[in-house]
Amino acid sequence: MAGEPTAGQDPWFVTRKLRDGVWLVAEPWHVYCFLITGAERAVLVDTGTGIADISAPVRRVTGMPVLVVNSHAHDDHRGGNVFFDEVAAHPVAVERLARPVPADRVGAYLTVAAEQLAAYETALALDDRYFHLFTADNRPRPLPPGTAAAAAAPIGAGPAARPLADGEVIDLGGRTLRVLHSPGHSPDSLCLLDERDGLLFVGDTLITGDFWAHTDDTDLEAFVTSLRRLDGELAGQVSRVMPAHTRSCEAGPHLLRDAADAIEAVHTGRSTGEPGLDLYGRPVLRHRFAEFNILRPVA
């Protein structure tokens, strides 16, 4: 039944069936990964932070061969590649994925995760009393044993990734996923369209929280172009978009147009940001919109 967790839940991941053949594999409040199965094989969209072995919950769902498709090569989307045999990604991501995640970046992320967990204890008390916003999908969990030692080591690169062409179709047996390059958040971003159910797996191309658009990887003009293309080319084909972060793992397809309009407004100077901080405490300008925010660097 959709919405039910799988048997044998572990202390780090949440695994939940969303629809027939589609599972959420979440590291709550860190990243949403998605497992899509056909009759012959499966695709795992992103492998998360690498804090724990994501292949364990995946194998509890399916024993079929699993192809990892990275939505892009940022650390929190490829950390678990090392636990799988087959990886594919945008051509620009291939070289990036061949390099390990350096120990200093692993340590910095785990430091923030620990700070987040400490702050969460206060937030949970307030949420339980007043707001009721946290769900099983996004309630942060204690870091696994051995995390402190892991902070001093790099995360391995995993198997060599093969490049995915724009428009390429991945056949899972009775279910196909269409590859759509979507540079903007990063030059190596891509989306996957489940052509059977109209689910668009978007990685960080869409977010229901803070769009990270303040790093050197981001190109706002390309971002707008990609979102306009997806909104136009896929009109009537998308039932839900499946983002990788923050409030919810699902959103309506209207987010494609809304995000394109908002990013264009930021890019052309029609939006004014307010000073704030990103996850790592770095100064940003936060542009607020109805369902999300867009972070930009401070000039």
Question: Could you give the CA distance from residue 123 to residue 20 in angstroms, rounded to a whole number?
Answer: 34
Residue 289: exposure state from Cβ atoms within 10 A (0-12, 13-18, ≥19): middle
Rounded to two decimals, the pTM is: 0.95
Question: Could you give the CA distance from residue 276 to residue 252 in angstroms, rounded to a whole number?
Answer: 28
Per-residue pLDDT, averaged over 27-41, amounts to 97
For residue 165, count other CB atoms closer than 10 A to its CB: 10
Greatest mean pLDDT among 151-160, 187-196, 244-253 lies in: 187-196
Ranges of H-type helices in 183-299: 220-233, 254-267
pLDDT tens-digit readout, 102-119? 999 999 999 999 998 899
DSSP tally for the chain: helices H, then strands E: 7, 16
Mean pLDDT over the full length of the chain: 94
Instruction: Report pLDDT for 7.
Output: 46
Residue 83 tokens read as 């636990």
User: Which are the contacts of 31, defined by CB distance < 8 A and separation ≥ 6?
Assistant: 46, 48, 49, 76, 77, 244, 245
Instruction: Report pLDDT for 9.
Output: 65
pLDDT tens-digit readout, 213-231? 999 999 999 999 999 999 9
Question: Could you give the CA distance from residue 115 to residue 111 in angstroms, rounded to a whole number?
Answer: 6
Residue carrying structure tokens 């992103």: 46
In the chain, % of residues over pLDDT 70: 96
Question: Could you give the CA distance from residue 296 to residue 274 in angstroms, rounded to a whole number?
Answer: 10
Question: Domains of the chain (ranges plus CATH)?
Answer: 14-100+161-297 (3.60.15.10), 103-150 (no CATH)
Specify the pairing of strand 161-163 against strand 87-89.
Answer: parallel
Ranges of H-type helices in the chain: 55-61, 75-78, 91-97, 103-126, 147-150, 220-233, 254-267
Q: Is 5's pLDDT higher than 60?
A: no
Per-residue pLDDT, averaged over 241-252, amounts to 95
Q: Is 148's pLDDT higher than 90?
A: no
Contact of 32 with 26, CB cutoff 8 Å = yes
Question: Could you give the CA distance from residue 239 to residue 236 in angstroms, rounded to a whole number?
Answer: 8
Radius of gyration of the chain from Cα atoms?
Answer: 18
Instruction: Report pLDDT for 205.
Output: 99
pLDDT band at 1 (very low <50, low <70, confident <90, very high): very low
Question: Could you give the CA distance from residue 262 to residue 51 in angstroms, rounded to a whole number?
Answer: 33
pLDDT band at 16 (very low <50, low <70, confident <90, very high): very high
pLDDT band at 121 (very low <50, low <70, confident <90, very high): confident
Residues in the chain: 299
Question: Could you give the CA distance from residue 92 to residue 100 in angstroms, rounded to a whole number?
Answer: 16
Half-sphere exposure of 90 (CA within 13 A, CB side): 23
pLDDT tens-digit readout, 48-80? 999 999 999 999 999 999 999 999 999 999 999
Q: Which DSSP helix (H) or strand (E) runs through 274?
A: strand 274-277
Instruction: Report pLDDT for 247.
Output: 84
- Residue with the bigger pLDDT between 2 and 21: it is 21
